Amino acid sequence: MKLIARLTAATAILATTTLSAETAPNPNAAEAKAIVQEFATTLQGELQAAMKDGGPTNAIAVCYDRAPAIAADLSERSGWEVGRTSLKTRNTADNAPDAWEQKVLADFDTRRAAGEDVQPMAYAEVVETADGKSFRFMKAIPTAEVCLACHGSDITPEVAAAIDERYPEDMAHGYGLGDVRGAFSLSKPL
Ligand code: HEC
């Protein structure tokens, strides 16, 4: 009897340990989330300041110059590949989604249509690449009020012309409040 009781207790402890290991936060996902947080905060701060200074026409330069620069700086400092992507890109040359990103972005749209909150929406997966395993992470970016001046369906002719000058193949307009505008996309070789 005693032995069985002890065994049961040991099994219970083992089960608890396994369970907590499985549910423990993934350190890679936590690291990716922290990088996304820094990217989002830095960019939004600069965007809002530029919008206040000279409106959306002035702020286009922030998106054009600063978004890729912040991404490059974060990539260099963290060892992750850091970028932004979307199913309808503005900067298609740099931000077009690969097949895996397309699938995750389509899934984000499905999840939103099913009523899920876009703000915390994210997805992580370990994928096989030609060079071995890689940890990939995407975090959805909701369309906020401030985004509509440049990504909405009622863009002023002045702003539209400034966008068109730099991005003649722009697809990133016609979004509504709360739509998934795109995602931060990060990857790291394992
Ligand atoms: C002043 C105009 C402007 C505003 C406001 C603006 N954007 Fe953009 N957005 C741009 C430009 C220009 C680019 C292309 C940047 C580049 O060259 O990488 C861009 C690119 C993006 C991209 C990368 C994918 C792509 O389409 O190339 C995402 C994601 C994005 N914007 C989301 C947002 C969100 C979310 C907001 C609101 C918080 C916002 N933007 C506000 C002008 C703007």
Q: Any idea which residue has 């991005």 for tokens? A: 167
- Please choose, from the candidates 86, 89, 87, 49, the residue with its C-alpha nearest in 3D space to the C-alpha of residue 66: 49
Q: Is the pLDDT of residue 18 over 60?
A: no
Q: Please, what sign has the CA dihedral across residues 30, 35, 38, 41? A: negative
Ligand 1 contact via 59 beta carbon (within 6 Å): yes
Gyration radius (Cα) of the chain, Å: 21
Query: pLDDT tens for residues 24-79?
Result: 678 999 999 999 999 999 999 999 999 999 999 989 988 999 999 999 999 999 99
Helix extents (H) in the chain: 2-23, 27-61, 67-78, 92-95, 99-113, 148-151, 157-166
Ligand 1 contact via 91 beta carbon (within 6 Å): yes
* CA-nearest residue, atom 37 of ligand 1: 147
Å from CA of 78 to ligand 1 middle: 23
Ligand 1 contact via 181 beta carbon (within 6 Å): yes
What DSSP state is assigned to residue 146?
A: G
Are 170 and 164 contacting, i.e. CB atoms less than 8 angstroms apart?
yes
**Rounded to 5 degrees, what are φ and ψ at 59?**
-75, -15
Å from CA of 188 to ligand 1 middle: 24
Ligand 1 contact via 40 beta carbon (within 6 Å): no
Q: Which of 94, 147, 158, 159 to mutate to test the pocket of ligand 1 (most atoms within 8 A of CB)?
A: 147
Query: pLDDT tens for residues 87-144?
Result: 999 999 999 999 999 999 999 999 999 999 999 999 999 999 888 999 999 999 999 9
* CA-nearest residue, atom 33 of ligand 1: 147
* Dist CA 168 CA 165 (whole Å): 6
Q: What does the domain layout of the chain look like in residue ranges?
A: 26-189
Ligand 1 contact via 185 beta carbon (within 6 Å): no
* Dist CA 72 CA 78 (whole Å): 10
Residue range 168-184: mean pLDDT, rounded: 97
Give the ligand 1 atom nearest the CA of 47.
5
Residue range 150-177: mean pLDDT, rounded: 96
Q: Which amino acid is at 66?
A: R
Å from CA of 42 to ligand 1 middle: 14
Residue 24, pLDDT score: 62
* CA-nearest residue, atom 35 of ligand 1: 143
Residue 170: exposure state from Cβ atoms within 10 A (0-12, 13-18, ≥19)? middle
